[in-house]
Structure 1
Amino acid sequence: MANVDSIAVAPAEPDPTSGTGQASRPATARVGLSRVRALVAVAPVVLTDGAVIAFALFTVLYHLAFLGDLRPSVTFRIWLLACVVLAVVAVLRARRRRAAGTPTDSTPTGQEDPVSAPPAADRRLLIGVLGAAAVAAVSAGAAGTRINLSWWIPAVAGLLAAVGGLLLVRQAWLRGPVSTPAAPAPTTAQSAYALVISVLVGISSFFMSRNTPDDVYYVGKSVWIAERDLIPLNDFLFSENVLPAMGSQPPIPSIEVFDGAFANVVGIHASSALWYVLLPIMAVFAALALWRLTHRWAPRRPLLAFTVAIAYLYLVAGGDAALGTFHVLRLHEGKGVFVSAVIPLMWLYLTEWFDTRSRRSLVLIVALSITAIGLTNTAAIILPMLVGAAGFAMMLVGRWKAAIVAAVAALAYPIGSLVVSRLALGVMTATGADDTFFDAAHTYRRTLLFGVVGVISGLALWCGALLARRRTPALLAAGATLALSVMFVPGVLEVLSALSGVSVVLWRVPWLLALPTLIGLLCTVRVPAPTAALRRAASGGIAVLLVASFALFATPVWSSKSWVEVRTSPTWKLLPHRQSIAFWIKGLDRPQGLLLAPQTVMRTVPIITSEVRVVLPREFYLVEYDLNSQFAKDRMLLAEFADGTTSPAPAELAPALDRLDVGTICVYNGNRYARDTVPELGYQEFATRSSPGAMTCFRRAD
């Protein structure tokens, strides 16, 4: 893959009219145009690799800041200075190498994969693999419909297809040339197309709003940090950094700290910083990451494959676990960037490392692993699976040393940081996580979906190794397919759950696939045709059929069924009336103590301000503090009362209000029981608002 150091400008032709100045201007114009084209061609590489290194640097600085007890704003300013220094060094190195004429491109150019007839034994194995893949894909897609099929059918068929595919790819590798056929460097036109699509993806992030329950923690933490310029090592939702922090959320990720520190330094609200500045940048980054892997793995027509992959992410959403819901709608959560950008880039960097064994690739693997753990703790679970799948595949062809080095580079920092945090803060207790578990069949249906889209996902999964560019891309795709196929065998995820104790994230194991790229590769299959034009037309027809299937049989990201509201102007990812209520409550002259309000409002308030503490930020988090404790029972009792779902007697409410020190109670006007009961509890009305969100607030009487 081309990089910024490889930009070289041909010397201008000798001026045939020396002294006149007439011919120098066209030559200068040609040189300038050549530079612009070269910059556009390498822009996706420079932007993505630069972003990886920059965020990895911030994550390291954030972790080191614990030793010096630095405020986030100070860490952010140090990071800015370090980024400027690194950028200057990179530019100077690029100029020196360009002046010396030293090529630095680690990716040799190449042509479309040549097609040769496989031996008879391989043809028979290929037919078997395709048959098993078809059975697995169709039966897996049907498993979520009215057709009642045992999950053992797709599990066994998929495992057979994965093993057969890996054997085919391995045999092709061992028979092939020692040199690795690589993808040609992207042309200026290809990079320009990817940049335009990525910018459009970033723009679209402004107008789609999907508020998720997790936002109260992730966005709320950014708001807390921005307003106080502190990192909360203890609980910040139920208390003022006093109660023990949730055991399942060690303070390793740095993305919330980055957002909060950025907002504090710039002087804007943390939610605005996240949704108006960082979110579109992350959307562009994710789209470019997808483009780079697709370009590297596609044996032909990468632009078409990239277009289909983007269409898949926009047209296939709906379910809470569908990949489309993470790409644009939930990129403001670290795990969204992880699955949408880190996963494809990790496969890309591993491909480059196994192809070239260059120091640059190894450095990028290390930086990306740091970026991954800076985004989400899930990286410590998914990355070992991904790297293990890649390493196992490379060991099968004798690349033991390269596989071991890659594994150490990709896993040392994430696993090390997790171990250090546990030694410093205590053993992780993911009590809440253990309450939710999805077996293999449900995991497939939640992430790869069912019906027509499930069948297409299955074909991409079990045929991906046969569609990818030869040698390294095909081998890595085969390793990923085998790893996931093993996990889809009934009982495997149950064993992993018992061993790891983090059941809640095991449904995310399909994330290791880089599925959107494999979906795009479906349209690159070489259709037998007498002419190149007919082959291109056939690929275009497959692409149209894929996109049409997504449009007809899936739920797009902009649908209300995806819990999305499309706005006509850039917006926070909150329902407008809840946002308005939260700001209104913040502006009230409230007494000291907690705020009791309907649960939807209490989930919104921490995203607005850390100055108003609420009785119950989110019910799910109570499992961290023992659901049978008085602490949890009081909060659930009062929250249900404020919601109007129960009507407890004043004798039950009064002790709970006193124990929690509730100073303000706000209820919707439609909750008549609460409006009549609150004055009996020693509270007096002091504020009302009209629709939308008509509400009455009461304050504790002195």
Structure 2
Amino acid sequence: MANVDSIAVAPAEPDPTPRSGQVARPANDRAGWSRVRALVAAAPAMLTDGAVIAFALFTVLYHLAFLGDLRPSVTFRIWLVACVVLAVVAVLRARRRVGAATDSAATDSAATDSTPADSTPAAQEEPGSAPPTDRRLLIGVLVAAAVAAVSAGLAGTSVSVSWWIPGVAGLLAAVGGLLLVRQAWLSGPVPTPAAPAVTATQSAYALVVSVLVGISSFFLARNTPDDVYYVGKSVWIAERDLIPLNDFLFSENVLPPMGSQPPVPSIEVFDGAFANVVGIHASSALWYVLLPIMAVFAVLALWRLTHRWAPRRPMLAFTVAIAYLYLVAGGDAALGTFHLPRLHEGKGIFVSAVIPLMWLYLTEWFDNRSRRSLLLIVALSITAIGLTNTAAIILPMLVGAAGFAMLLVGRWKAAVVAAVAALAYPIGSLVVSRLALGGMSATGADDVFFDAASTYRRTLLFGVVGVISGLALWCGALLARRRTPALLAAGATLAMSVLFVPGVLQLLSALSGISVVLWRVPWLLALPTLIGLLCTVRVPAPTRALRRAASGGIAVLLVASFALFATPMWSPKSWVEVHERPTWKLPQQRQSIAFWIKDLDRPQGLLLAPKTIMRTTPIVTSQVRVVLPRDFYLVEYDLTSQFAKDRLLLAEFADGTASPTPAELAPALDRLDVGTICVYNGNQYARDTAPQLGYQEFAKRPKPGAMTCFRRAD
């Protein structure tokens, strides 16, 4: 230390200024620079933790607003004031803590200056997990993991592989991995290892990446059928400043609400209230303001967990994880599909941000058992249910996996407290809403059941990417940082491996009736982080440079595999369009047509138009009510009912896929009170039939998207 001080303090040339000034100025400069570095290093944690607490606060206020029947704009203004107060208190407390820390460190700042401030300490760069005590068990785990990963990856290809092979091999690998981690825990040091320090360089890199991802969100557009409900609800709330407790798609808040969508999530209300208060369109508020913020939040959440769990080279692991999300998407349910293309939906931000943060907060809680960690778990659980009802299904599995792992090492009190903190509000809010509004059903949701093999393929995929995903899953516990991260990774692996055993998901479906969302159970994994950990494996090499080169080579191979064997986020196969300017996440022609119809001088009554236009219209405005917002939701109202049959008949007529007679069409038009019919010019039958039904042509739209509209004759 003395040598370092002498190097830092000794001037290169004589300084003619008085010695008293010679000490004060550099000390102040160093203190100021230390504060800047500390602020940058802490920025990801401050931003993500602050966002979690803020949205949890809004969710609670939204739920309490039901008691006072407050309008969403009023709730939003109350939330803004509360956030300002909390922010001021947090800043004052942080300034006191940072000031005290930097002042106490000022006397030793010369030593800090002699070392690159943003370099990763050697202890963080190259620590390995505690070596397993049973080498034969380790070899058995690796063999079982390899068999499970390869067979699972082949199961979706032309190669015929029984799912029992990956199911049993994966379970054996998971059990063996958990035993190895437990042995390392029980034989390791009693003191809790310190959390890895975050440097300013690392945080700056994560912040830059998150901003770039946020910017890219402006230009990627995926039109998903679910948007008619989620975005349409925000538009309805923004235009009326009311919360629809009943149906708002087929009626004006009159018909019973969909049983599969209780009004517990607050994200659509937040967007609608924000748009109402600020005075912009709700869709613009969502896609131009909130979506980039969500993207930054999701990337920083991924960074924080990856940094905490990676035993070495966290920046490299984080880079691979981001590449995985961008390069592995597709048209089904891969996690990349639920990132930027669907991040604006509550379930998208839930799986992309809440899942990694919950694993992070649980890691911190089991490490230090501080009140702050417990508070963040509670706030995150409220945030989760404010985003999606799926949280009430996935969070119990996640917390159960973590709690079981902790029970195996004797941390039962911490596990029980964490479970209560993470599950009390989500489960409680759903129970209260059901008691107040009636029983919940999943009738209106996707009732297609996916077995274990299909569930694996939907999220972890198949082929080369499926093999990589399997290796990340079944080797994650051996790759993660020792003790708590490794133990939690082992718990998650065991939980998923049990669910992947043939017949388990079927049993869960029969017992719970939640087959509709069982394909989402892989969401409990922090899969992108586990994928990134693959490049942190400690390759035997004589020098650190060679070990780093080997890790870089693995990272390059992983990214190349994603690029070659997966579908990227921006591909048309992912149902994504790439635009040259920021756009709404809608096909631009459909959006233009919906606005054109909105501005027409239409009579009272419903709008009948092609299905794609009717599905787009609620996202544009709630003032134009349509015959069929989405046929998927008709199951809520009984597909055999006249209510459903009329809408399906008319929609097929407007699409040009059927040619019902005027005698069949007239009663349905009268029952539904259709005031306007708009069809594409290519639908000659509809154009010829509309006048026979008592409708007069009153508007024409030129190409592209040439359309003719008819209004009911008075």
Q: Give the TM-score normalised by structure 1.
A: 0.95
2:189 paired with 1:177: yes
Residue by residue over 1:242-291, the C-alpha shift from the partner in whole angstroms, topping out at 9 and shown as x without a partner, is 00000000000000000000000000000000000000000000000000
Partner residue in 2 for 1:276: 288
CA displacement at 1:490 relative to structure 2: 1.2
Whether the aligned pair in 1 keeps the contact of 2:129 and 2:480 (CA below 8 Å) is no
Distance 2:128 2:618 in 1: 58
Distance 2:122 2:399 in 1: 26
Residue by residue over 1:549-599, the C-alpha shift from the partner in whole angstroms, topping out at 9 and shown as x without a partner, is 000000000000000000001110011100000000000000000000000
CA displacement at 1:511 relative to structure 2: 0.3
Residue by residue over 1:227-249, the C-alpha shift from the partner in whole angstroms, topping out at 9 and shown as x without a partner, is 00000000000000000000000
CA displacement at 1:37 relative to structure 2: 1.1
Partner residue in 1 for 2:72: 72
Distance 2:215 2:142 in 1: 40
CA displacement at 1:497 relative to structure 2: 1.3
2:625 paired with 1:587: no
Whether the aligned pair in 2 keeps the contact of 1:592 and 1:663 (CA below 8 Å) is yes
2:403 paired with 1:424: no
Partner residue in 2 for 1:545: 557
Partner residue in 2 for 1:507: 519
Residue by residue over 1:102-140, the C-alpha shift from the partner in whole angstroms, topping out at 9 and shown as x without a partner, is 999xxx996342466543xx1100111110110100000
Partner residue in 1 for 2:325: 313
Query: What amino acid sits opposite 2:507 in the alignment?
Result: V
Aligned match for 1:376, one of 382, 388, 412: 388
2:140 paired with 1:113: no
CA displacement at 1:19 relative to structure 2: 10
Structure 2: gaps of 5 or more residues:
1-14, 105-120
Partner residue in 2 for 1:698: 710
Query: What amino acid sits opposite 1:40 in the alignment?
Result: V
Whether the aligned pair in 2 keeps the contact of 1:369 and 1:413 (CA below 8 Å) is yes
Distance 1:169 1:19 in 2: 58
2:55 paired with 1:43: no
CA displacement at 1:496 relative to structure 2: 1.3
Secondary structure of the corresponding residue to residue 678 of structure 2: strand
Residue by residue over 1:16-37, the C-alpha shift from the partner in whole angstroms, topping out at 9 and shown as x without a partner, is 9669867655443333222211
Partner residue in 1 for 2:116: none
2:250 paired with 1:229: no
Residue by residue over 1:627-668, the C-alpha shift from the partner in whole angstroms, topping out at 9 and shown as x without a partner, is 000000000000011000010011000000000000000000
CA displacement at 1:149 relative to structure 2: 1.0
Partner residue in 2 for 1:92: 92
Whether the aligned pair in 2 keeps the contact of 1:314 and 1:556 (CA below 8 Å) is yes
Whether the aligned pair in 1 keeps the contact of 2:677 and 2:711 (CA below 8 Å) is yes
2:311 paired with 1:299: yes
Would the alpha carbon gap of residues 16 and 78 (structure 1) be closer, same or farther in structure 2, given more than 3 Å must change?
farther
Partner residue in 2 for 1:159: 171
Distance 2:166 2:96 in 1: 56
Whether the aligned pair in 2 keeps the contact of 1:57 and 1:79 (CA below 8 Å) is yes
Distance 2:579 2:202 in 1: 31
Residue by residue over 1:640-699, the C-alpha shift from the partner in whole angstroms, topping out at 9 and shown as x without a partner, is 110000100110000000000000000000001111111100000000001111000000
CA displacement at 1:465 relative to structure 2: 0.4
Would the alpha carbon gap of residues 447 and 602 (structure 1) be closer, same or farther in structure 2, given more than 3 Å must change?
same
1:313-462 mapped onto 2 (5 Å cutoff): 313-433=325-445, 435-462=447-474
Query: What amino acid sits opposite 1:136 in the alignment?
Result: A
Distance 1:532 1:213 in 2: 51
Partner residue in 1 for 2:231: 219
CA displacement at 1:374 relative to structure 2: 0.2
Partner residue in 2 for 1:127: 139
Partner residue in 1 for 2:611: 599
Alpha-carbon RMSD = 1.8
Partner residue in 2 for 1:52: 52
Secondary structure of the corresponding residue to residue 428 of structure 1: coil
2:545 paired with 1:526: no
Partner residue in 2 for 1:630: 642
Percent of aligned pairs with the same residue? 87
Distance 1:653 1:482 in 2: 57
Would the alpha carbon gap of residues 70 and 540 (structure 1) be closer, same or farther in structure 2, given more than 3 Å must change?
same
Would the alpha carbon gap of residues 118 and 502 (structure 1) be closer, same or farther in structure 2, given more than 3 Å must change?
closer
Partner residue in 2 for 1:83: 83
Comparing 298-307 with 494-503, which one deviates more in the overlay?
Answer: 494-503
Secondary structure of the corresponding residue to residue 685 of structure 1: strand
Comparing 633-642 with 27-36, which one deviates more in the overlay?
Answer: 27-36
Whether the aligned pair in 2 keeps the contact of 1:109 and 1:182 (CA below 8 Å) is no
Secondary structure of the corresponding residue to residue 342 of structure 2: coil
Distance 2:225 2:308 in 1: 37
Partner residue in 1 for 2:476: 464
Comparing 93-102 with 622-631, which one deviates more in the overlay?
Answer: 93-102
Residue by residue over 1:287-335, the C-alpha shift from the partner in whole angstroms, topping out at 9 and shown as x without a partner, is 0000000000000000000000000000000132010011111010000
Whether the aligned pair in 2 keeps the contact of 1:591 and 1:664 (CA below 8 Å) is yes
Secondary structure of the corresponding residue to residue 178 of structure 1: coil
2:594 paired with 1:557: no
Distance 1:114 1:399 in 2: 23
Whether the aligned pair in 1 keeps the contact of 2:237 and 2:273 (CA below 8 Å) is yes
CA displacement at 1:92 relative to structure 2: 1.6
Partner residue in 1 for 2:109: none
Whether the aligned pair in 1 keeps the contact of 2:129 and 2:311 (CA below 8 Å) is no
1:659-670 mapped onto 2 (5 Å cutoff): 659-670=671-682
Distance 1:344 1:221 in 2: 28
Residue by residue over 1:344-384, the C-alpha shift from the partner in whole angstroms, topping out at 9 and shown as x without a partner, is 00000000000000000000000000000000000000000
Query: What amino acid sits opposite 1:310 in the alignment?
Result: I
Aligned match for 1:266, one of 275, 278, 301: 278
Query: What amino acid sits opposite 2:632 in the alignment?
Result: F
Whether the aligned pair in 1 keeps the contact of 2:241 and 2:276 (CA below 8 Å) is yes
Distance 1:311 1:264 in 2: 37
Whether the aligned pair in 1 keeps the contact of 2:447 and 2:516 (CA below 8 Å) is yes
Secondary structure of the corresponding residue to residue 341 of structure 2: coil
Comparing 299-308 with 498-507, which one deviates more in the overlay?
Answer: 498-507
Comparing 381-390 with 492-501, which one deviates more in the overlay?
Answer: 492-501
Would the alpha carbon gap of residues 20 and 586 (structure 1) be closer, same or farther in structure 2, given more than 3 Å must change?
same
CA displacement at 1:148 relative to structure 2: 1.0
2:32 paired with 1:32: yes
Secondary structure of the corresponding residue to residue 676 of structure 2: strand
Secondary structure of the corresponding residue to residue 687 of structure 1: strand
Query: What amino acid sits opposite 1:113 in the alignment?
Result: P
Residue by residue over 1:595-620, the C-alpha shift from the partner in whole angstroms, topping out at 9 and shown as x without a partner, is 00000000000000000000000010
Query: What amino acid sits opposite 1:599 in the alignment?
Result: K
Whether the aligned pair in 2 keeps the contact of 1:685 and 1:698 (CA below 8 Å) is yes
Would the alpha carbon gap of residues 103 and 551 (structure 1) be closer, same or farther in structure 2, given more than 3 Å must change?
farther
Secondary structure of the corresponding residue to residue 667 of structure 2: helix
Secondary structure of the corresponding residue to residue 516 of structure 1: helix
Distance 1:314 1:368 in 2: 25
Would the alpha carbon gap of residues 511 and 16 (structure 1) be closer, same or farther in structure 2, given more than 3 Å must change?
farther
